[in-house]
Amino acid sequence: MQVLGFALLSACQQYSQVADQTPAPDPVEKETPAYTNTANTLFAKIALQEGEQAKDQAAILAMQGEYKVGFDFEETVILKEDYERSPGKKSGAFETVVVVEATPNKVVLQHLLQVGGGAVVKHWRQDWFYEADSRFEFVEDQTWELREIPEDKREGQWTQCVYEVSDAPRYCGTGKWNHKYGVSTWTSDRSWRPLPRREYTKRSDYNALNVENRHTVTPLGWTHEQDNTKVIREGKKTQATLVREFGFNNYRRIDGFDFSPAYAYWEKTADYWSKVRSTWAGRFTKNKQVKLNTEVDGMPIIEATFSHAESIQSGSAAPDQSDIDEVFKQWVSLNLN
């Protein structure tokens, strides 16, 4: 496997610091303090749409744009007698959200994290599907399964699926958008997800989260609230619940910050990442189950795909499909049963 270049390695290290919620000065804030808060110009357009589905799509598209993001997590209700709350975790980042695909029934948003020195890290991705009939679900350690969505959870509902920086699966949730009182909020059902990076790099006392997500579009940007329960599971069975946690991610629209490195990165690498997305989608289309043959951090797949993207940035020939297939052959197994 190609070794990560210095620029990319530096970006990944700073990304890990943000994702780990490590208290430290924001490197970008120190280097480039010049930005101002601004309004979310797409907020007012939601109410102008005719029909609920059109309003829903407008709300999803209103999450695109340039942001200063605050991440805030606090453990709340203790559910296990001998458990002690862990300290709260806060951090921030500069992030732009770009539209990859937009149709009436599907929207794909890619997050791009910009860290110190203009380095760029492809961050998480969110796909939205209108009245989806199936979704992948996290079922046990490093394993996701394609499952049918009950018919009573389809009509008028959107399924959001979230992906890792390597486009590996993370979790899905299904729910309706609510546009009452001039504010658009989507609330998911409860679903399972693996540990986030801010936890699995530091803790091993639990191995899954049971989560309800809520996204709200505001005149200032948008927010992502998480109602998390930290759980110990053995296979597909829950053995114990430890504590509840409230997560609040605040995406505040800004102006004046130079996101040109992020856009340049995406312009060069978008075609490559499209092939990666298609490869993941093909695995779920043809198989009931996908399992990652890595530790919980998924780093072998992240390093391999990021290395491919770095080679494109440096002007080398773009990896072809066989290079991507080789990564999947090594680190992703399939269950055909």
**Is it the case that residue 59 has pLDDT exceeding 80?**
yes
Q: What does the mean pLDDT of the chain come to?
A: 90
Q: Report the alpha-carbon distance of residue 171 to residue 23 in Å, rounded.
A: 27
> What's the pLDDT at 189?
98
**7 or 213, greater pLDDT:** 213
Average pLDDT estimate for 233-240: 94
* pLDDT in the model for residue 42: 98
pLDDT band at 28 (very low <50, low <70, confident <90, very high): very low
pLDDT tier for residue 26 given thresholds of 50, 70 and 90: very low
Partners of 112 in the β-ladder: 96, 122
| Helix, coil or strand: residue 280 | helix
The pLDDT assigned to 335 comes to 67
* Model confidence pLDDT, tens digit, residues 60-79: 999 999 999 999 999 999 99
Asked if pLDDT for residue 336 goes beyond 90, the answer is no
Three-state DSSP at 135 gives strand
Q: What is the pLDDT of residue 65?
A: 98
Mean pLDDT, residues 236-244: 96
pLDDT of residue 12 exceeding 90, the answer is no
Which of the 8 DSSP states describes residue 152?
A: G
pTM for the full predicted model = 0.91
Distances (CA, A) of 296 to 137, 192, 196, 209, 303: 16, 15, 9, 13, 14
| Percent of the chain predicted with pLDDT > 90 | 80
Whether residue 14 is predicted with pLDDT greater than 60 in this model: the reply is: no
- The per-residue pLDDT for range 304-319, each reduced to its tens digit, is 999 999 999 999 888 9
Segment 238-266 mean pLDDT: 97
Least confident of 110-114, 200-204, 206-210: 200-204
Task: Give the start-to-end residue ranges of the domains of the chain.
Answer: 6-270
Phi-psi region of 194 (alpha: psi -120 to 50; beta: other; left: phi over 0): beta
Q: Is the pLDDT of residue 111 over 50?
A: yes
Per-residue model confidence as pLDDT tens digits over 112-170: 999 878 899 999 999 999 999 999 999 999 999 999 999 999 999 999 999 999 999 99
Q: Are 302 and 164 in contact (CB under 8 A)?
A: yes
